[in-house]
Structure 1
Amino acid sequence: MNYFIISQDERIQDAVQPMGISQVITKEMLTKKKVRDMDKLNLQFQIREQDTTEYVDFIEKPIPLLSDRGKQIIEKYVPKLYFKSVMLKDMKRLRQELYWLIVPPRIDCLSEQTEFHKDGTLKRLVIDESKAAPYKIFKIKGIMEEYILISLDVAESLLRRDFTGIRLKKVEKEIVEERG
């Protein structure tokens, strides 16, 4: 199966930008052990004021947020994925939009063929498909980057719909040499 890194399309200049998230949600809270601590939080954030605002279907930073219709698709493939509602508020225009924080599991699927720069960042990402196969959406253990990967069937489902602000980049898979 093929996998893709899902990211926010940076070509959309007026994409919605939530503010103040980093003061409320820490990186530690986005782990399997701590994620349930957010259940009791009422997450509402104002957005940066801009002349025009496009409510994209995927916000990558500071935390991964899916639009409500994006969540509906992902949830069909991964019903047990942790979703937490997040309300984005535009005070100037008196508008609110529902987004969903997603916390995919971190799995150990790095291939030995993965290459790193001296500073520890990725030079070339290669995954071991046999370890990734049971997962439809996940993050990778053992890398500094916070990439979210989705399987081919999830990617195709997103592409069949009119989503905005989503980019997909194919991930290399491990090449296993036949020994005979």
Structure 2
Amino acid sequence: MNYFIISQDERIFDAIEPTGVSQVITREQMEEEQLRKMDKLILQFSLKEKTTNEYVDFIQRPIPLLSDQCKQIIEKYVPHMYFKSVVLVDRKQMRQDVYWLIAPPRINCLSDESEFHKDGTIKRLVIDEQKAISHKIFRIDGILEDYILISLDVAESLLRRNFTGIRLKKVEKEGVYER
């Protein structure tokens, strides 16, 4: 099975950007059990004012958010995944959109073949496929980066639709060197 890092396409310069998120949700709270404590809260964030806003289907930072249509696809592959609704408000355009906060489980699947920079960040990411094989969408435990990985079938399903703002990068598997 092949896996891909899903990220926001940085080539879209006018992508929407939620503001004030870090005052409400910290990095430590980005685990499912912590987010479930916020179930009764209505999360609403304003968008950074720009001349134009592109409503992308995946927002990577400051928190991972999926558009409603993208969430529907992910949910078909991982029906028990936790999603928290977030309302994004464009005051200038008087527009509100629902996005979905995701916190995929962290899986201990980092291969010994992975390489790190001196500061502890990933230089070369390699995963142990056998430890990840039962997961369709997950994060990697034991690294500083907060990469979200998706399986090949999920990636293909996303690519078949007309989603915007999504980039996929293939991840190396243990024992297989793909460049």
TM-score normalised to structure 1 length: 0.96
Q: Structure 1: 5+ residue runs without aligned partners?
A: none
Distance 1:33 1:85 in 2: 15
* 1:99-178 equivalences in 2 (<5 Å): 99-175=99-175
Output the aligned Cα RMSD: 0.8
Is the aligned partner of 1:24 residue 2:24?
yes
Whether the aligned pair in 2 keeps the contact of 1:108 and 1:131 (CA below 8 Å) is yes
TM-score normalised to structure 2 length: 0.97
Distance 1:95 1:160 in 2: 28
Q: Structure 2: 5+ residue runs without aligned partners?
A: none
**Percent identical:** 72
Whether the aligned pair in 1 keeps the contact of 2:8 and 2:165 (CA below 8 Å) is yes
* 1:71-82 equivalences in 2 (<5 Å): 71-82=71-82
Provide Cα deviations, 1:101-158, integer angstroms capped at 9, x if missing partner. Answer: 0010000000010001111000100000000000000000000000000000000000
Distance 1:126 1:111 in 2: 5
Count, aligned residues: 176
Shift of the alpha carbon at 1:35? 2.1
Query: 2:89 — aligned with what?
Result: 89
Secondary structure of the residue that 1:45 maps to in structure 2? strand
Shift of the alpha carbon at 1:33? 3.1
Shift of the alpha carbon at 1:32? 3.4
Whether the aligned pair in 1 keeps the contact of 2:32 and 2:82 (CA below 8 Å) is no
Structure 2 letter corresponding to 1:6:
I
Secondary structure of the residue that 1:87 maps to in structure 2? strand
Whether the aligned pair in 1 keeps the contact of 2:19 and 2:45 (CA below 8 Å) is yes
